[in-house]
Amino acid sequence: MPVSLTNSSLIYNTLKECDIRLLSALPETWLVHLIRLADEDPRMVLVRLAKEEEGVGISAAAHFAGVKSAMLMQNHGFLASINGIVSFAHLYKIPLLMLISYRGSLGERDPWQTQGGNVTEPLLRALGIPYAFLDAAESVKKRTRQAQALAESSLQPVALLLTRDLMWEE
């Protein structure tokens, strides 16, 4: 499977450096290494979800408890989480660090991913969610730290879009 282990490890180590101690996740192809790394790490609480929206409640609770967390999801999982984002994270000013695999963008070969790719950025903009791309190994650490800093200072969700260029080795 050509999901980049090198860059998945880079992202995981960056999350650890950001003091992330809880990850919620629902598996998707690009996230398999990240989820396995979390699962094998005794110092990480990995919460495997049935649906991504649950992760909003989990991360809000972690924030209340003083635990730094992040959410791993596919962009379709972001679509499935929107009510939770609006009526919990936005309504109650909850910082969320959302790592979203950006399926359905340039290079996508799976037809079923393409419609979600079309609407991901327009929806992030419509919701007023600041976002940036993780698209090159050199900038992963800096952008992740910056996203976490903004989420915590603004008390709102911030998204990092994991791109094909970073996650996939062809």
Partner 1 sequence: MLRVECLRSIYSELQECLVVTIMGAVAAELQSLGHRSNFFYLQHAMGLASSTGLGLALCLPDQKVIVFDGDGSLLMNLGSLTTMARYRPSNLIHVVFDNESLLSVGGFPTATNTGTDLAGIAAAAGVPIVTTVRTVESFKAAVIGAREGSELTTIIAKVEATGPAAYVTGLSLIENRFQFSRHIQSLKQR
DSSP-assigned beta bridge partners for residue 24: 47, 71
* Contact yes or no for 7/30 (Cβ under 8 A): no
**Residue 93 in contact with partner 1, rule: CB under 8 A:** yes
Output the smallest distance, CB 123 to partner 1, in A: 18
DSSP-assigned beta bridge partners for residue 133: 161
SS (H, E, C) 48-115: ECCCCCHHHHHHHHHHHCCCCEEEEEEHHHHHHCHHHHHHHHHCCCCCEEEEEECCCCCCCCCHHHHH
Output the smallest distance, CB 151 to partner 1, in A: 15
**Residue 66 in contact with partner 1, rule: CB under 8 A:** yes
Q: Which of 42, 43, 50, 138 binds partner 1 (CB under 8 A)?
A: 50
Q: Which of 6, 13, 17, 48 binds partner 1 (CB under 8 A)?
A: 48
Q: Which of 15, 35, 49, 129 binds partner 1 (CB under 8 A)?
A: 49
Please count the other Cβ atoms lying within 10 Å of the Cβ belonging to residue 148. 21
Give the binding range for partner 1 (CB under 8 A) out of 43-51, 104-112, 131-139, 145-153: 43-51
Output the smallest distance, CB 78 to partner 1, in A: 15
SS (H, E, C) 138-170: HHHHHHHHHHHHHHHHHCCEEEEEECHHHHECC
**Residue closer to partner 1 (CB basis): 51 or 125:** 51
Which residues are near partner 1 by CB under 8 A?
A: 22, 45, 47-51, 53-67, 83-84, 87-88, 91-94
